A and B are shown apart, each in its own frame.
Chain A
Amino acid sequence: KAGVTQTPRYLIKTRGQQVTLSCSPISGHRSVSWYQQTPGQGLQFLFEYFSETQRNKGNFPGRFSGRQFSNSRSEMNVSTLELGDSALYLCASSSGTSGRSDNEQFFGPGTRLTVL
């Protein structure tokens, strides 16, 4: 079974631009979560999508948005980029159903975003 894939792997943008990151979950997984990882900050939860609906949201400004398609693929968008948005953006998929398996998340390799 193929793992979680993320594209692009690396991205360089300038302040004020916008960016769209893509995540393809493991086949059959319906839940996709997004995280921002910066040195010393751990993984900060952005949002979670399940069956094309945002089910949970973290404490990030409205510049961060996302969506999920009918095939469970997900995108996140960051508008009006700031220097502080430079980070590794990870997506994780899970079955999304209740039970123990729901709590195991499978992470993609991440997209390294650099804002200049």
Chain B
Amino acid sequence: GQSLEQPSEVTAVEGAIVQINCTYQTSGFYGLSWYQQHDGGAPTFLSYNALDGLEETGRFSSFLSRSDSYGYLLLQELQMKDSASYFCAVSRAGGFKTIFGAGTRLFVKA
């Protein structure tokens, strides 16, 4: 089977750094993506990792360890507008099929 696990909620203060972890179990793993979704909005793509290591995009960074079936999203210099749900998603080989985790609700407080 396949599964993704991520924390259901994380709370952090403005200006801080927060890390959202994601562990996965799947066959034919191709890569790990991260999406952000604000209440009432559509998910928007943040990052994608196919190889081990860290990918940085502005305040957001994403890390992948294929051997550990683990990844994380790192958000720096948190802002109130970062309050949203964050989903990790696994892409599988053999056609385009993305499996999403249940999402992590991030609350940023002043």
User: Which A residues are closer than 8 A to B by beta carbons?
Assistant: 31, 33, 35, 40-45, 48, 50, 55-56, 58, 90, 92, 94, 96, 100, 102-110
Contact = CB atoms under 8 A, between A and B. Distances in A.
Contact of A109 (B42, B50, B89, B95): B42
26 contacts: A42-B87, A42-B101, A42-B103, A43-B43, A43-B89, A48-B96, A48-B97, A55-B95, A55-B96, A56-B95, A56-B96, A56-B97, A90-B43, A92-B43, A94-B96, A96-B96, A102-B96, A103-B30, A103-B33, A103-B91, A105-B35, A105-B45, A105-B98, A106-B45, A107-B44, A110-B42
Contacts, number: 62
Nearest to A90: B42
Q: Is the interface of A mostly helix, strand, loop or mixed?
A: strand
